[in-house]
Amino acid sequence: MALLSCQGIKKHYRHKHALDGLNLEVKAGEAVGLLGINGAGKSTTIKTLLGLVRKTAGHISLDESQVGFLPELARMPEHITPRSFVALALRIRGRGTSEADAALAETGLGEEHMSRHIRLLSKGLRQRVALAYALAGSPRLIVLDEPMSGLDAIGRIAALELLKKRKAAGAGILICSHIVPDLVRLTDQVLLIHQGVVKQIFPITSHDMDEVVMLEQALRHWSSQ
Amino acid sequence: MMHIKNLALYSFRELMGMLVVRITLAVAVLLPLAAWIFSQFFLMELTKVQLDVMTAGSYLLGMVLILIAVVPMLGADIGGRLCYFYLMPPVSRSEYMLGRFIGAALLLLLLFAVLLAGSEALIAMALEHAPADRRYGISWETGLIIAGTACYQSITLLAAVFFIAAWATGFAELLLFSIAACALFWIMPPVLEAMKNPFLMVGVPTWIVSLVHGIAWLLPEMNAGQFILAALHGQATDYTMLLLHFLGHAGYALMMLMACLLMFARRDL
């Protein structure tokens, strides 16, 4: 069952075609990766799908009841504790706030950081809080824009394991990342976006280095176009 | 409705987490003491002096809270893209804006509750110690009029700030236009009122007269001085006029909020 699907999505700014007829589908228990160079249209795709940016044309079908979203971070709320922040996500998803600590612990945030203001946390810890916000309450569709940004190696591995677990539990994942090995480890297919168009679709089957190399070569090819 | 409530409580908690908000509330708690100390430099009508300080403090603290707490919060939401977290489906843009607005309005209500308690404490002290002929007609209603008018005028300003946030691109723009709105609301209405004087308008083209009247109608009268002065001088409050003043503000705030929701629903974030 498709949790998210879109056909012919276009987004035109005054002097630029950010998206030009994009098609995409994310089913339950499936992870789809978006890959592309800077300015290819990956973040715009995500923002358009979630209604943060208004589409110029096309059709989007989204199960709005349970969506977890981790935006590419510019800032985090500073004057609130991670516990209260994640509790908001749980309330929005109709869950009890008592799950907040468990959601934060799942991303590797220590108990001692849960009741400190977010402004006092390091970049990596903030990213864990943001990830906990997106995953709290086990949403059916998880949309992630550069989720590994600022995480250390251990944090990255833990985050990937957590996402794999969610996928295995039936959640659909749409992830946008510059880190090709992460996409290969997690996803079932990767969409290579260039100039707002899906240029190639790569099914990921073996999740090994060969697929990493193949994706990197394709990325290099399209970036030189 | 549930999302609005959740976001309102969250916003209130977030605002209360700001040091600057706690300092402002502490100033509000200490304001009656400051008013009492200040009044000791005067020889007579000490209660009036104290309530004058409370009046000025109420207006100032309401504006300060909006400019140094609410504006940065909205600026981070819009400019820092923090709103992406809160606008996660199924939360709609209207629910987000209303939740934020109600959260900020709750904070203003808390501030004015503190200021009301302070004014009433000063009034109670005055009524207890002053002889009947030195009370100048001041009663518990005086404190209510001071805090009440300052409260609903601050909420009108808050609605204007939310209207600006609906189209501003970041903190700097939001702050600049919010300060401009404060200045406009406070300075322009008396000037326009003076300009509406028929003697002044003799020979002025009709369209300019209409324009002045139109702008005067658009801007809310931010100064409830006529009601406060009357209360401080022991004159009977014209409750009909006060109600009209309040309704004018409520209408203005509602109009700003509606415009805010309409514009915010249509913009790219």
pLDDT at A131 over 90: yes
The verdict on A178 and A160 lying in the same domain is: yes
Whole-number Å distance between alpha carbons of A219 and A71: 23
Residue B206: inside a domain: no
Residue keyed to tokens 């700014």: A13
Residue B209: inside a domain: no
> Please, are residues A32 and A189 in contact by the beta-carbon 8 Å criterion?
yes
The three-state secondary structure class of A25 is strand
Q: Which of A47, A67, A92 is facing B6, going by the closest CB pair?
A: A92
Last residue of a domain, one of A115, A138, A161: A138
pLDDT digit string (tens) for chain B, length 269 residues:
889 999 999 999 999 999 999 999 999 999 999 999 998 888 877 888 888 899 899 989 999 999 999 999 999 999 989 999 999 888 999 999 999 999 999 999 999 999 999 999 998 888 887 777 766 777 888 889 889 998 998 999 999 999 999 999 999 999 999 999 888 887 777 787 778 777 877 788 888 888 888 887 777 676 777 788 788 777 788 889 889 888 988 998 999 999 999 999 999 88
> Which residue range(s) make up the domain with B63?
2-179+224-265
Chain A nearest-CA distance from B85, in A, is 7
The verdict on A12 and A37 lying in the same domain is: yes
Which of B149-162 are b and which e, b meaning 16 or more Cβ less than 10 Å from the residue's Cβ? bbbbbbbbbbbbbb
pLDDT at B37: 93
Per the prediction, chain A carries an average pLDDT of: 90
Residue B201: inside a domain: no
Residue A36: inside a domain: yes
The three-state secondary structure class of A166 is helix
Residues of A in contact with B11 (CB under 8 A): none
> Which residue range(s) make up the domain with A33?
2-66+140-223
Return the H-helix or E-strand segment holding A207.
none
Q: pLDDT class for A74, splitting at 50, 70, 90?
A: low
Residues of B in contact with A91 (CB under 8 A): 2, 6
Return the H-helix or E-strand segment holding A83.
helix A82-92
Residue B16: inside a domain: yes
Residue A81: inside a domain: yes
Chain A nearest-CA distance from B7, in A, is 8
The verdict on A61 and A144 lying in the same domain is: yes
As for how many domains chain A has, the answer is 2
Chain B nearest-CA distance from A185, in A, is 26
The verdict on A124 and A148 lying in the same domain is: no
Residue B197: inside a domain: no
The verdict on A121 and A159 lying in the same domain is: no
The verdict on A51 and A157 lying in the same domain is: yes
Query: A67 vs B90: CB contact, 8 Å cut-off?
Result: yes
pLDDT at A85: 94
Q: What one-letter code names the amino acid at A41?
A: G
The verdict on A215 and A126 lying in the same domain is: no
Q: Which residue has the higher pLDDT, A150 or A187?
A: A187
Last residue of a domain, one of A138, A156, A186: A138
Residue B195: inside a domain: no
- Per-residue HEC secondary structure of chain B comes to CHHHHHHHHHHHHHHHCCHHHHHHHHHHHHHHHHHHHHHCCCCCCHHHHHHHHHHHHHHHHHHHHHHHHHHHHHHHHHHCCCHHHHCCCCCCHHHHHHHHHHHHHHHHHHHHHHHHHHHHHHHHHHHHHCCHHHCCCCCHHHHHHHHHHHHHHHHHHHHHHHHHHCCCCCHHHHHHHHHHHHHHHHHHHHHHHHHCCCCCCCCCCHHHHHHHHHHHHHCCCCCCHHHHHHHHCCCCCCHHHHHHHHHHHHHHHHHHHHHHHHHHHCCCC
Average pLDDT over residues A183-193: 93
Query: A79 vs B84: CB contact, 8 Å cut-off?
Result: no
**A49: CATH:** 3.40.50.300
Q: pLDDT class for A170, splitting at 50, 70, 90?
A: very high
Residue A71: inside a domain: no
Query: A69 vs B18: CB contact, 8 Å cut-off?
Result: no
As for how many domains chain B has, the answer is 1
Query: B269 vs A92: CB contact, 8 Å cut-off?
Result: no
pLDDT at B89: 83
The verdict on A112 and A39 lying in the same domain is: no
Kindly state the tokens that stand for A11: 């987004």
- Dihedral sign (CA A19, A22, A27, A33): negative
Q: Which of A65, A71, A79 is facing B81, going by the closest CB pair?
A: A71
* A30-44, A164-178, B231-245, B251-265: range with lowest mean pLDDT: B231-245
The verdict on A184 and A211 lying in the same domain is: yes
> Please, are residues A21 and A58 in contact by the beta-carbon 8 Å criterion?
yes
Contacting B residues, span 77-116, partner chain A, CB-CB under 8 Å? 80-82, 84-91
The verdict on A115 and A160 lying in the same domain is: no
Chain B nearest-CA distance from A207, in A, is 31
Query: A62 vs B89: CB contact, 8 Å cut-off?
Result: yes
Return the H-helix or E-strand segment holding A113.
helix A111-114
> Please, are residues B161 and B66 in contact by the beta-carbon 8 Å criterion?
yes
Whole-number Å distance between alpha carbons of B101 and A83: 23
Residue B184: inside a domain: no
Residue keyed to tokens 């909205």: B74
CB atoms within 10 A of CB B106: 17
DSSP 8-state symbol, A117: -
Backbone angles phi, psi at A62, to 5 degrees: -135, 130
Give Cα A28 distance to the centre of its chain.
15
Average pLDDT over residues A177-183: 91
The verdict on A26 and A118 lying in the same domain is: no
Closest residue by Cα to residue B56 from B175, B161, B178, B186: B186
Whole-number Å distance between alpha carbons of B131 and B127: 8
Whole-number Å distance between alpha carbons of B162 and B159: 5
Q: What one-letter code names the amino acid at A67?
A: V
The verdict on A43 and A151 lying in the same domain is: yes
Last residue of a domain, one of A123, A138, A153: A138
Kindly state the tokens that stand for B168: 């501003």
